[in-house]
Amino acid sequence: MEKSKVLVVGGTGYIGRRMVRASLAQGHRTFVLTRLEKVGMDIDKLQLLLSFKAQGALLVEASMDDHRSLVAAVKQVDVVVSAMGGPHLLQQLKLVEAIKEAGNIQRFLPSEFGMDPARMGHALAPGRVTFDDKMVIRKVIEEANIPHTYVSANCFAAYFAANLSQIGTLLPPKEKVHVYGDGNAKVIFVDEDDVGTYVIKSIDDPRSLNKTIYIRPPGNIFSQNELIAKWEKLSGKVLDKIPIPSDEFLASMEGADHTYQIVVGHVYHIFYEGCLTNFEIADDEEASLLYPEVQYTLMDKYMERYL
């Protein structure tokens, strides 16, 4: 079977660039939506786009504000993968309009790649806006009968593992570490490159059609306490553990800036509530079971680069 042609929207973004690389690596003809007006003087974005081109990707000029350009971009491919960033999720409504008009798309993957928004109806404000926006996009996709796959990628390792899930830093703490509640809720950590690999594996797969794929690599499911212990073993240094009860943690949102409040909400659901692992996958699919050939990266290995 000929591999599908893929358009990545948001291809220079943090996770989007991994979708582009995985698509090329898996032998798909890969198109990257290129918003020339946004390249401007952004030298890194331009260099990244040129590196994609050098690896065989086709850069397609289009804009969310130019419907015709979007339809023309979508018509060149079979699959659209969107990795648009959190504040811009509703811009995907324009992408859905283009996909509807083009009428040729065999699979659309909207920008998700985190907690399953369908399970976050109870989420705290203001962080819940991400889940609400993702559900708005799901609704229009399903109303238009667009073949789709949703991917729940759980915790990106660089945001949640390397820093031992501490807020406001991306580096491992040196002396003390905040522990959320009893630190025992099970969490799922995923190497971002593996997210790209699993996502692209799923796009031509009939088993993932109109389903949610959860990325739950079994070797990367563990608690914050276990994460801290892994880092202590790697670094050879014992950290002071400072437990934060849930009421104290939630109270820290009061008067804090908007971004901090969003992060606290997400951390609360993941580490106090255990929202990534407190349910069984029923009618949907799990990525490491679908694609056992993928040698995903274990967090012990991932964190070695931070030593």
Using CB under 6 A as the binding rule, the residues of this chain from 87 to 146 that contact ligand NAP are 88, 91, 111-114, 130
CA distance linking residue 248 with residue 288, whole number of Å:
37
CA distance linking residue 54 with residue 48, whole number of Å:
10
Nearest alpha carbon to residue 239 among 247, 228, 226: 228
**Interaction of residue 148 with ligand NAP, rule CB under 6 A:** no
Helix (H, G, I), strand (E, B) or coil at 13: coil
**What is the edge-to-edge ordering of all strands in the sheet holding 30-34?**
58-61, 30-34, 6-9, 79-82, 107-109
Q: Catalytic pick from 3, 134, 230, 237?
A: 134
**Interaction of residue 10 with ligand NAP, rule CB under 6 A:** yes
CA distance linking residue 211 with residue 202, whole number of Å:
10
Contact track, ligand NAP, 50-89, x by CB under 6 A? --------------x------------------xxxx-x-
Task: Kindly tell me which of 85 and 121 has the beta carbon lying closer to ligand NAP.
Answer: 85
**Interaction of residue 220 with ligand NAP, rule CB under 6 A:** no
**Interaction of residue 155 with ligand NAP, rule CB under 6 A:** yes
- Report residue 180 as tokens: 């959320």
- Check if 134 is active-site: yes
Using CB under 6 A as the binding rule, the residues of this chain from 223 to 282 that contact ligand NAP are none
- Residue 183, C-beta contacts closer than 8 angstroms, at least 6 positions apart: 223, 224, 225, 228, 241, 243, 271
- Report residue 85 as tokens: 């960033």
What residue is closest to ligand NAP based on CB? 13
Q: What's the closest the beta carbon of residue 89 comes to ligand NAP, in angstroms?
A: 6
CA distance linking residue 285 with residue 144, whole number of Å:
23
Give the number of residues in contact with ligand NAP, rule: CB under 6 A: 26
Residues within the interface to ligand NAP (CB under 6 A): 9-16, 35, 38, 64, 83-86, 88, 91, 111-114, 130, 153, 155-156, 159
Catalytic residue annotation: 134
